[in-house]
Structure 1
């Protein structure tokens, strides 16, 4: 169950954009949160650095360069770096959020894995590492905790770039890394390269196959000591029946000397896939015995003093401070128990014979033994068969004088080399925003030789220096090479075409292109459906930086047009009014009689009101004028009856009373016995 921790960042917005929702993990260097990028409406992993790192400007500059380098790596098996920045005292990195679990969770649940499953899980890991190596990136901290497995089965390697930045921020006597997987050369203070990642991958593969890490110790420095002095045992010792090719693959990756390992991730990936095709189904589906997960490493543990352990990132990465006076084991004994302090420099470590379980030598062991025998033979051939004790004393005295003189010359040369020559220390000058010639001159004046390397940079003008590696202000030996980073300007990427997409589709396309959504404007459009993109600014294929805001014009669909009222108008005027409103007039085929509307004018329309879209039809019905109706003769009839009869025929009746109309009899009528328009007036004269 995840422990609930009170955190003031939860519920806040970082940089006005990232809404922090919950805490995912924490360590000695940073805390990881689940956050929502409100600008692009997506979940991200927000790594917030601890204040002691966020307040170190040199570290932040380095972290920015490493984050940019990692962000340039786009691969389906590498967790993407999306953003990096600083909001007040908060320094952060934004990464792709992978919802799922880690390889560590799989190993905790299943312990040892069959070779087929182990190869299937580690293949995408090596493919991602190979892509990073091809791009010039080294991970430095490969371990099961950094292998993420999404709910849909995608496998990705995370945390590229941060280990390098943090390592450079520590003292030269400290090693950052997970001690269970650290390469021997890193323990000895030597530079890391792609083969260091290969070693860590080999240790991880050993653990996947056997359910245990190859080395164990009470304190981390004991494990680090074994990485330097011991050889990883074949995994078949813990899992009987494991194919010899699998043993050789693990031991090839975990060779102590980097030159004896695969040169990079691509070489390892090719060999892994070759082995998968050559093994039988029985070899691939070998089920490790239940006891394999409980095998205790048989290597003896030699007690070593002075270890400082601190969590890094996920709580499983240690900082080892190398001892100023390392412990040497007197070689030549099967079970060494005597330890003595050494006066050698901190990087020197004597190797001693360590206990191993007795097992038949593998092909790789036989090759190693043959190489060692060849070295011994050559060393013996180069050793003189006669000693200096033979011959006369005078000759020996001359030889000793020569030896002393040579040693004095060598001591003087060494003193010059490390005191005033190329081995003397110097401070890297600040070259940022200098021309290449100016930057190289500054470095030459300080005693360094530089090698220009072109890099993309959003802040420094193209052609000017971005900085150096090692960074400015660091004190290093002058013989060390210095990389001078020269800006190529910002890296530009073409904008995707968004016209015709829905707004949600456009947001996803911008997110995939690592662009941001700008202003969204809506307007009516007769050709583009409502909710779809009409246009974008900048236009498609425009080369812009990552994070550029793209404004969108979204269609509201065709504009609604009000229907004009043309009833009573003549035909020509009605048609013109409908056309002026953006609509189309349609004449009904059958005109109708109407006693009030003149012939040729509009009696009715459909629709009579409301709105239509441009070009829609309005149907109008024209009048034929009033009907002609025969007027009967009502003279001599009673006026009331005459009135009712005429009104029923559709006439208006006008009554003129003479002498008060006392008798109520129609004396006269106009018109009479003739046809008249419906609705016209018939006049009755009543007496």
Structure 2
């Protein structure tokens, strides 16, 4: 029973921004994950390149340029490139996430499609390619796996520029692409352009209409040879009853000579839409009796979506197609748009001035282009050579090619190039894992990674992962755990609380409990303690507890009223408070001049450093003493009390308040407010 090994990237955050949620698929150059862009809070498809590509400096430079070019392309039928970057030894590409399925899933489920459905699905693909070609981008790996179909009906083509970046890498001698859909010029190491993508579209349309791929073989190299040396048959040869226009469209796209294909995806789009509008319902809704899921040919993509690789030097030049035709007639195989590569001519063998009457317009245009090229060739060979010798050479050449093909079939089928299943190494020690791979004869390289679950020194897994199969010359990456990644605890003392939080985030650590303590030396909010201390090492996401200053501890404000200014100031300063003397002084009949008559704040709590304002007394106010002699006692008392004096009546007399004041002390001048005026009244007022 095999133990399930978790992908080490699932749950990790790439480049501090992309939180990986799950693995979506594996390809020939990368693994695609569903991730969340934590900065913008949106799902993205994160393509992580395999380590051997990420370690190739030339490939990364090309990859970055292609990603920038693809990011400039914004089209409703092209998956948008959102970001590209590096995180340590991880090179990634963030793309628009399209939830749903691929065209490959549809073909696996339905098999051959009706022409109506096939043309409808192909229309947005060709429209997206047309926009890309107009922007100077060539895809080079068009296939059903790269056509994404969302649940809401959107159709987009993905992976622009990735195969191109891989194919021009200086450190690889292989062409990376899917051989079932690869254009002949790519196999022959010729320059690729928009017409190479059109060829792949034609192969894809063939498969959509027939449920089969046109070329199959025991190995990728055999299929590649067929693209170079064989013409794609018309779809109706497998599905009798398909409209002739569909045959013409497929054969136009898949002509081995790029010159015979549509010159642009825009031209192809116009023809495709013309056919959709001119075919009747019976032709559009025709369903093949043999429809069923398309079989997977050897060398094409497997379940994991890996693209096969074809050695560039393996493909021989295309053999002549019409070497044995009658020298007295010009042959143009219009039905399949094959290019006539050798048409012997004599002065009498002049090409007809007009095309045969039964050709379509597109066939006639192809006939005219071929006739113009034939007119540029000499009518008589200067060195005709020995015809018998040429025949022998052709026989020898074909025999050599047959031997090479048989040898290649044996090499990749049963010989050293036969596929080897990748063993399960997860949980084994590094030594045991290496031994197991060596026993299988696999070439492998080591890649050490941090892992939160797998102990240090044990194997995390391999790339590709089991049950994948590889050739002996294809490297396997053995991933060994370095144990959990440890991060240094930063020094946080003296930082503000928000600064401390940011430092912990940057160190891949979390904030634990935050407590607060009074401090006379640290302002409120400043970190005064941390646990663990700076310099210790913790796992990713571990918590660090913090103690923040709550500022100085408050206390009750001292009451210094009635104290002298000097004594009051000394007491307040000793308590850590600032003292301010008010400019204005006030009269007070009870507080001597110079003493504190009031303070602010007068009550409540304060903290060291707060300011207390003191108001000083001027002493009592001096008031002019009026002369009340001769006034009735009640009137005199009222007059003096209104001026703030206390009144004392001396002696015994009759008459009460109606008595007449006969004398007062003091009898005039000024006296302090609140002082006492003594009155004497006449005992006999009558």
TM-score between both structures, scaled by the size of structure 1:
0.47
TM-score between both structures, scaled by the size of structure 2:
0.47
Max radius of gyration: which structure? 2
